[in-house]
Structure 1
Amino acid sequence: MSINLRRLAAGMAFTLLAAAQAVAAPTPVRFVLDWKLQGVHAWYYLAEDRGYFKDENLAVRIDQGDGSANTVTKVMAGVYDAGFGDVNAIIQNAATRPQEAPVMAYLIYNRAPFALVTRADSPIRSLEDLEGRKLGSPAGGAAMRMFDTLAALNGIDAGKVEWVNMAPNLQEQMLLRGEVDASAVFSVTSYANLLGMRQDPDQGFRWFHYADHGVELYGNGVMVSRKLLAEQPAVAAGLIRAIHRGLMDTIADPDAAIEALARREPLIDREIEKERLRYTLQNVVFTDEVRRIGLGDIDDARMQRAIAQVVDVFGLPATPTVDQVFSRAALPPRDARLVAP
């Protein structure tokens, strides 16, 4: 073979190798959580440890967050491609900026975890007993904002309730001290906080979950940017597949999931975070609806009613459609998403 032919062959080999490496290079995905690391984030790290993102040829960077509503604004700003956050915040943004708001691609909290919690020895035994009582909430807290809807649906005079504002980290303390009669809380957070205070949240407290009393809101899930869904649909689908596998594995083996979380944050209380995870799965993830339609999906009619409730509470200027809020484009098949009764 002549020198020129050898050079040509070497050049072609280099070109083919470079092309192969380019094809094999994983696609970077920037992902943000809703809060600091907790048990409800364990499935993302279990998916990472078990190579599920790698299987989809994705290089996913997972960052901690500072609020489920802020996840939406960060994805809208283009800082992140996807994240774990609140579908109700998507609704609020879709009412004014429908072309910019992200879409929910895999709904995990089938029930928004809003609740009122009171002590077991409290005279509040039904929603009707709330009239004339003091309720605690951080200023502008989502559970407080939704209280008027809860009251209207259940014949309660919201004007007969006195609200006491406090810092989020004082809600359980002020309830225990008797400074408020009940608190409007994010149940999956308050439940774990009470455990951390050496309280028994099941026997020592009474819970009124909004979802049990007519409030139809969904909660947190995996949202993706419209840009990612439109321009890289295979990447969006791969991301959801990997997360779904991590969630299914977490359901099957919570201990392994908590250990994956602890490898990132060794200072977590494993037992409390495992209980937070268990409580979340049982109270806001596993529902009759999920057993019927599978993890990640929604009921369109219910979502439309939920959108209407959010529009009413926040006085939004427009009512988004279900398609502006949720997309099934990246969902795995239903059979793969079904969970045991």
Structure 2
Amino acid sequence: MKKSASILSTLAVITASALALVGCGASAPSGDGGAPAKGDKQLTDVTLMLNWYPYGEHAPFYYGVEKGIFKEHGINLTIKAGQGSTKTAQAVGQKQTDFGWADTPAVLANIDKGVAIKSVGVFLQTTPSAVQVFADSGIDKPEDLEGKTIAVSAGDAPTTTFPLYLEAVGLKESDVKQQNLDPAGKIAAVLSGQVDGLIGFAHDQGPTIAAKSGKKMTYLRYSDAGLNFYSNGLIAPDDTIKDKPELVEEMVAATSEAFAAAQKDPEAAVASMAGKDPQMPAKDVLLDQWNETIKLLSTKATEGKAPGTNATEDWQATLDVLSKAGLISGDGDVKTYFDASFAPGK
């Protein structure tokens, strides 16, 4: 009995020692100075609500998840469909989601109404707002819009700023007939020939209409007329910005890296979206949408910089346009709406 007890005791010591070694190996620090490597961070569950159902613009988020970019920044990202930028902004303010992806005019208008959120980085820095027509419509330049009927959606940014576009191209608002329809109705009206074109985001509706009709589209872009303002970007609750700045910084950095990676390989980025949402467009439409999005990711002030890098002058220009259009109060300054603390690559 004593011999058996001795053997058991020895085995117990050996087992304990082995376990201790394994434990030491599992917790051994990696990287310089004993700090954990970036990829070894404990993951934080994070939700992101999009501005709409997934379409090509959103490819970087899915690609970033697939490539492990968000995990490298300690984020276990869940992407949720949205139902419009206003609803996304309000959901972020109510902390129904950790972060949001929303159109800047809607974000700013909600901040004016007291929603406790801020932009932490706009990625679509050239407005996608455009009059969209079939290439064979005979509408080749802004002046050709005179006497035409264009579908609009009252209250959205492209429609509200349309008078400024017409002014910029030398037309009066009365020169163009506007037919108010919801987003789906606008597309249907163009396809059926009930209207001559529509106002919306050139990187969204245009590729969809082209795929459905088999016809090429022409885009009369607001930016080509010198009218530009910020579009979609990341937003966060004020409390999160205050209490969890490290998380916000990592989210912005990961998003910037994901956008850069998706630019380098558009086809792979779009392929990562496969099967993620039943309402997602076909792959060729997604690719067209993402390629159109790439054109919007910088301005002259941010060209060549990391995606999501914002310039103060672009923010001020955005405030000036949106204030003139009546979309925001005009009482706030850049810091009212944007927290510049989390610029990527700083």
Match of 1:271 among 279, 284, 301: 284
Partners of 1:287 and 1:308 lie apart in 2 by 16
SS of 1:215 mapped into structure 2: coil
Structure 1 segment 1-341 matched on structure 2, within 5 A: 25-97=42-114, 100-201=115-216, 205-265=217-277, 268-282=281-295, 284-314=296-326, 316-333=328-345
Partners of 1:113 and 1:315 lie apart in 2 by 17
SS of 1:197 mapped into structure 2: helix
SS of 1:291 mapped into structure 2: coil
**CA apart distance, 1:56:** 2.2
Question: What is the identity, as a one-letter code, of the residue corresponding to 2:257?
Answer: R
Question: What is the identity, as a one-letter code, of the residue corresponding to 1:169?
Answer: A
Query: Taking structure 1 as the reference length, what is the TM-score of the superposition?
Result: 0.82
Q: Does structure 2 conserve the Cα–Cα contact (< 8 Å) formed by 1:46 and 1:250?
A: yes
- The aligned residue for residue 11 of structure 2 is none
Question: What is the identity, as a one-letter code, of the residue corresponding to 1:85?
Answer: A
**CA apart distance, 1:209:** 0.4
Q: Percent identity, please.
A: 22
Partners of 1:182 and 1:58 lie apart in 2 by 42
Partners of 1:179 and 1:165 lie apart in 2 by 12
Partners of 2:210 and 2:140 lie apart in 1 by 22
Q: Does structure 2 conserve the Cα–Cα contact (< 8 Å) formed by 1:94 and 1:320?
A: no
Q: Does structure 2 conserve the Cα–Cα contact (< 8 Å) formed by 1:175 and 1:181?
A: yes
Partners of 2:311 and 2:254 lie apart in 1 by 23
Question: Any stretches of 5+ residues in structure 2 without a counterpart?
Answer: 1-19, 28-39
Q: Does structure 2 conserve the Cα–Cα contact (< 8 Å) formed by 1:102 and 1:225?
A: yes
Question: Any stretches of 5+ residues in structure 1 without a counterpart?
Answer: 1-12, 335-341
Between Structure 1 and Structure 2, whose CA radius of gyration is higher? 2
Partners of 1:152 and 1:240 lie apart in 2 by 36
Worse-matched range after superposition: 293-302 or 79-88: 293-302
Partners of 2:170 and 2:99 lie apart in 1 by 40
The 3 A distance-change label for structure 1 pair 272 and 126 is closer
Q: Does structure 2 conserve the Cα–Cα contact (< 8 Å) formed by 1:96 and 1:318?
A: no
Question: What is the identity, as a one-letter code, of the residue corresponding to 1:245?
Answer: E
Partners of 1:217 and 1:286 lie apart in 2 by 11
Partners of 2:290 and 2:199 lie apart in 1 by 21
Partners of 1:193 and 1:332 lie apart in 2 by 32
Partners of 2:188 and 2:111 lie apart in 1 by 36
**CA apart distance, 1:296:** 0.8
Question: What is the identity, as a one-letter code, of the residue corresponding to 1:230?
Answer: K
SS of 1:75 mapped into structure 2: helix
The 3 A distance-change label for structure 1 pair 131 and 255 is closer
**CA apart distance, 1:272:** 1.6
The 3 A distance-change label for structure 1 pair 219 and 317 is closer
Partners of 1:27 and 1:292 lie apart in 2 by 31
Partners of 2:195 and 2:266 lie apart in 1 by 35
Partners of 1:140 and 1:88 lie apart in 2 by 11
Q: Does structure 2 conserve the Cα–Cα contact (< 8 Å) formed by 1:175 and 1:183?
A: yes
